[in-house]
Amino acid sequence: MSLSRASGILLHPTSFPSPFGVGDLGQEAYNFVDFLKNSGQKIWQVLPLGPTGFGNSPYQAYSAMAGNPLLISPDKLKDEGWLSVRDLSDIPAFPKDQVDFDLVAQLKSSLLKTAYQNFQKDTSEEKKETFKKFCNSKAFWLDDYAFYMALRDAHQGASWHTWDKDIALRQPAALEKWQQRLADKIQYHKFLQYLFFQQWDELKSYANEQGIKIFGDVPIYVAHDSADVWANPQIFSLDSQTNEPSLMAGVPPDYFSETGQLWGNPVYRWDKLEEENFSWWVQRIQSMLDIVDLIRIDHFLGLVAYWVVPQGETTAKNGEWMTAPGEALFNTIKEKLGTLPIIAEDLGVITSDVERLRDKFEFPGMKILHFAFDSDSDNPYLPNNYNSTNWVVYTGTHDNNTTVGWFNKRSPEEQERVYRFITDSRGNGIHWDLIHLAMSSIAYMAIFPLQDILGLGEEAIMNQPGVPDGNWSWRYQSEMLTSDIRDRLKEVTALHGRTPKN
């Protein structure tokens, strides 16, 4: 990938300040873009933007292509005339530093239903036509998604594999019956997507105008409880009797977990995907390119070899490796969509086959500084060992502790090992030491979680892999983005040649 030397910040939109309990696409999002520009950054990395399911994980969404309605800004709906000042006058007091997802969902659901009712009652023909064009343009995934969510609502939130067999298996008569019964509910879920994409497109346009590229994230797998699996069961490994995953995705024991990670997603039937010329994947990547400028493919390894665990296992220990046709997949996507702005999440157990696939398509890989200090001077995560500029270097990712939290958990001897490799410590804290180290590397892109820019401890962890509860909820407060932090980040960025050129 040919890009100029750059740096940026990793921050999911749910982490924005907001009076509505969760970050959204309103004014604070624009304030953050301004902070990026004014501190010399070129990149804003986000986690997957889909509608989250159980556990609130962005990596377990009800759709690989839809947007999360919780991110819709009520303030912007008021500006559109779909909510009134009165509708927003009785907002409960939410925690400022965490998301209470259950409470937020209750509030947002009520507000969004009110907005839909007002849209139905009092909307111009021009806006109705705009909505219709949106639905037509996204029909390849939107029709199934909106239908699926309406069906879930009608089944009290139960996953599709527990529904009556005729609708679970998409029998034509059942589809027609339920479509008629749920017509208004289906339209409601389409309306929510219209709102999300309208607000997201406006925000992305603003970011791009400020010289900021949006760096998105594609989870390699999709949730079993999703429109994707219900609508395309032939491309997933499912039990023919129960429709549950017959082979589950995960990773074997690694740095993060002694028992591995059992994600539970159904793995792909790559033979069927190849028969269909990878059409679902092509559509998925195209839908991402419609809303972001760069794409990280999470668990890139799984497009070469993937760990499968049989149904019934409770950990990922007992599994086996199977091969995936990654080269054929990317050849097809490239043929259909052109050169791909993809970054490979190539962490963990990486084989020469993974490296060959990554390098064949010139996808940058990832380097994590938290992994750099616990072996010898040949450690591949140390910046002096980067063999090209085609890397994205991080202090840590959303799956790591914050840099301050990580460092504080190290023994004095382990802390000393870090300091031996930092020759430019300036006394501003270990987080700034590692930011300097990453910025000074030859990697063309350096990305930092906002928690590291702010120097926060482990209380600000975004996700702890293998821990089922309490993740994804961290939020910052507006006053944390001080002028001192902005100016320091701008200075460090300029010092290492990553400032945008006018």
* Residues acting as catalytic residues: 298, 345, 399
With contact defined as beta carbons under 8 Å apart, do 462 and 10 qualify? no
DSSP string for 244-295 = SBSEEEEE-S-SS-TT-EEEEEEPB-HHHHHHTTTHHHHHHHHHHHTT-SEE
Residue at 422: amino acid letter: I
Is the Cα dihedral 34, 192, 47, 200 positive or negative? negative
Contact 311, 250 (CB under 8 A): no
Does residue 35 contact residue 483 with C-beta atoms inside 8 Å?
no
DSSP state, residue 26 = S
Phi/psi at 426 (nearest 5 deg)?
Answer: -115, 10
| Sheet (strand 391-394) strand order | 342-344, 294-297, 213-218, 43-45, 6-10, 445-449, 391-394, 365-368
* Rounded distance between C-alpha atoms, residue 133 and residue 143, angstroms: 13
CB neighbour class for 130 (10 Å; exposed up to 12, middle 13-18, buried from 19): middle
3-class DSSP state of 43: strand
Q: Are strands 247-251 and 261-266 parallel, antiparallel or unpaired?
A: antiparallel
- 488-to-323, 448, 454 alpha-carbon distances in Å: 46, 14, 11
Q: Is 134 left (phi over 0), alpha (psi -120 to 50) or beta?
A: alpha
Distances (CA, A) of 40 to 16, 111, 367, 484, 491: 20, 37, 22, 14, 8
DSSP-derived secondary structure for 111-134 = HHHHHHHHHHHS--HHHHHHHHHH
- Lookup result for tokens 């994804």: 472
Q: Which of 39, 63, 31 lies closest to 49, judged by CA?
A: 63
Q: What stretches of 69-205 adopt beta strand conformation (E)? A: none
Phi, psi of 471 (to 5 degrees): -95, 165
